[in-house]
């Protein structure tokens, strides 16, 4: 039996030499240390041996078992090591190489532009008020002093929906009514940013969707002087201390008096060029003193309260700032344009 044990040990160790991977190692373990391995069967027979033989054979059998187990773990470890070496070789890493630049997403230029303008207003003490992009006819027009059939409604080329009386807002002005109704009779200093929609012929200067910011201040003793100061200050905060502004008389149904305001053309610095049609000025938006009817519709007594309002096209401001000559770039998703900001 002792020689049988030698035989078992030798042939097992011999077989182990040709084991090259985890699967055959496991096969080896089952064959030589598993329940029906020759060594284990031999253990089963120990009981049948005589008293004198049993300790001698038993000791040797245990020795062989320990030897096989030790050989098994050594082989297992060396397989693990060589697998590690292989992967270190094949996936060699040079930590001194410059890292790969990960493509990181960012805000769309109209959003970051919007945020920077909102920040300027925040510095001037205006809060942001959100109002819906789809509005009823009443909010888009009637409450802004344009009853049904009023010809001034034609100033906005509106997208109507299949829902009666609901249209996409052609301007942010209907938000004036929402914010006034929420805060009346408290004073208001708010801006209402967001997308507007108009049924326009698309061109380098006109799109069917664009962002606006509505500006609204309501309170006691608010004057046209406050309006002019706010707009001029906005221009200076956006474009620098030397930025000039001007106001021209105009007509809007929801303000009285009304004006349009221009910023000095940045492309020619007021000298006159093709972009500003040789006037030296670019129109930015409309403004005025909130019409008494609108104040009343918002819940304010026009005898006690006054207010000013203004609208500004924010893409216009970005075009001025970056000399962008076509408004269509904003919505066609051309990466060559978007990646510049
Ligand atoms: N809502 C006007 C438009 O989009 C712009 C405007 C003009 C807004 C005068 C105002 C305002 O608040 O007072 O054409």
Tell how far the Cα of 140 is from the centroid of ligand 1, in angstroms. 12
pLDDT for 192-211, tens place per residue?
999 999 998 888 878 899 99
- CB of 261 closer than 6 angstroms to any ligand 1 atom: no
Burial of 101 (0-12, 13-18, 19+ CB in 10 A): exposed
Tell how far the Cα of 240 is from the centroid of ligand 1, in angstroms. 25
Task: Name which of 266, 247, 245 is nearest 325 in CA terms.
Answer: 266
What atom in ligand 1 is closest to the CA of residue 311?
Answer: 8
What atom in ligand 1 is closest to the CA of residue 156?
Answer: 14
Tell how far the Cα of 59 is from the centroid of ligand 1, in angstroms. 102
What atom in ligand 1 is closest to the CA of residue 255?
Answer: 13
- CB of 169 closer than 6 angstroms to any ligand 1 atom: no
What atom in ligand 1 is closest to the CA of residue 173?
Answer: 1
Tell how far the Cα of 252 is from the centroid of ligand 1, in angstroms. 7
pLDDT for 141-190, tens place per residue?
999 999 998 888 888 889 999 999 999 999 999 999 999 999 999 999 99
Q: Residue 42's pLDDT is what? A: 85
Angle formed at CA 215 by CA 143 and CA 220, multiple of 5 degrees? 80
Tell how far the Cα of 26 is from the centroid of ligand 1, in angstroms. 81
Q: Residue 279 above 80 pLDDT?
A: yes
Helix (H) or strand (E) holding 260: strand 255-264
- CB of 288 closer than 6 angstroms to any ligand 1 atom: yes
> What mean pLDDT do residues 77-83 have?
91
Tell me if the bond preceding 257 is cis, omega within 30° of 0: yes
Q: Which of 17-21, 102-106, 272-276 has the lowest mean pLDDT?
A: 272-276
- CB of 171 closer than 6 angstroms to any ligand 1 atom: yes
What atom in ligand 1 is closest to the CA of residue 254?
Answer: 13
- CB of 174 closer than 6 angstroms to any ligand 1 atom: no
Pocket test for ligand 1, best of 139, 285, 306 (most atoms within 8 A of CB): 285
Q: Which of 43-47, 194-198, 239-243, 336-340 has the lowest mean pLDDT?
A: 43-47
- CB of 313 closer than 6 angstroms to any ligand 1 atom: no
Tell how far the Cα of 71 is from the centroid of ligand 1, in angstroms. 88
Tell me if the bond preceding 160 is cis, omega within 30° of 0: no
Long-range contacts of 205-208 (CB under 8 A, 24+ apart): 205/327, 206/327, 207/315, 207/327, 207/328, 207/330, 207/331, 208/159
- CB of 175 closer than 6 angstroms to any ligand 1 atom: no
- CB of 214 closer than 6 angstroms to any ligand 1 atom: yes
Give CA–CA dist 275/10, Å, rounded: 95
Q: Residue 157's pLDDT is what? A: 87
Mean residue pLDDT of the chain comes to 93
Instruction: Band the pLDDT of 281: cuts 50, 70, 90.
Output: very high
Q: Residue 267 above 80 pLDDT?
A: no
Instruction: Band the pLDDT of 246: cuts 50, 70, 90.
Output: very high
- CB of 173 closer than 6 angstroms to any ligand 1 atom: yes
Q: Residue 277's pLDDT is what? A: 82
> What mean pLDDT do residues 225-230 have?
98
Residue 287 β-bridge partners: 259, 310
> What mean pLDDT do residues 90-107 have?
88
Contact 230, 308 (CB under 8 A): yes
Pocket test for ligand 1, best of 153, 171, 208 (most atoms within 8 A of CB): 171
Q: Residue 212 above 90 pLDDT?
A: yes
Q: Residue 108 above 90 pLDDT?
A: yes
Give CA–CA dist 320/7, Å, rounded: 93
């Amino acid at each position: 039996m002792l020689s049988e044990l030698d035989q078992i040990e030798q042939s097992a160790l011999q077989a182990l030499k040709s084991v090259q991977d985890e699967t055959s190692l496991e096969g080896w373990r089952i064959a030589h240390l598993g329940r029906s391995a020759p060594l284990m069967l031999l253990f089963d027979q120990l009981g049948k041996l005589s008293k004198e033989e049993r300790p001698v054979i038993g000791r040797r059998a245990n020795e062989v078992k320990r030897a096989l187990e030790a050989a098994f773990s050594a082989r297992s470890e060396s397989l693990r090591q060589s697998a590690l070496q292989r992967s270190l070789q094949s996936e060699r890493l040079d930590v001194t190489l410059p890292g790969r630049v990960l493509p990181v997403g960012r805000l769309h230029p109209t959003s970051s532009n919007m945020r920077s303008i909102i920040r300027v207003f925040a510095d001037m003490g205006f809060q942001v008020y959100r109002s819906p992009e789809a509005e009823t006819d009443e909010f888009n027009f009637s409450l802004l002093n344009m009853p049904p059939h009023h010809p001034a409604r034609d100033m906005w080329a509106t997208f109507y929906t299949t829902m009666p009386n609901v249209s996409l807002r052609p301007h942010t002005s209907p938000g004036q009514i929402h914010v006034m109704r929420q805060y009346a009779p408290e004073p208001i200093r708010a801006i209402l940013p967001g997308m507007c929609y108009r049924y326009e012929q698309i061109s380098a200067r006109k799109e069917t969707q664009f962002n606006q910011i509505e500006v609204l201040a309501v309170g006691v003793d608010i004057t046209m002087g406050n309006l002019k100061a706010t707009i001029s200050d906005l221009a200076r905060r956006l474009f620098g201390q030397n930025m000039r502004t001007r106001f021209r008389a105009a007509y809007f149904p929801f303000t009285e008096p009304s004006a349009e305001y221009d910023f000095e053309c940045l492309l020619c610095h007021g000298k006159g060029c093709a972009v500003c049609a040789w006037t030296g000025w670019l129109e930015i938006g409309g403004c005025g003193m909130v019409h008494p009817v609108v104040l009343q519709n918002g819940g304010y007594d026009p005898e006690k309260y006054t207010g000013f309002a203004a609208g500004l096209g924010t893409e216009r401001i970005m075009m001025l700032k970056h000399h962008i000559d076509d408004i269509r770039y904003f919505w066609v998703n051309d990466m060559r344009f978007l990646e510049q900001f």
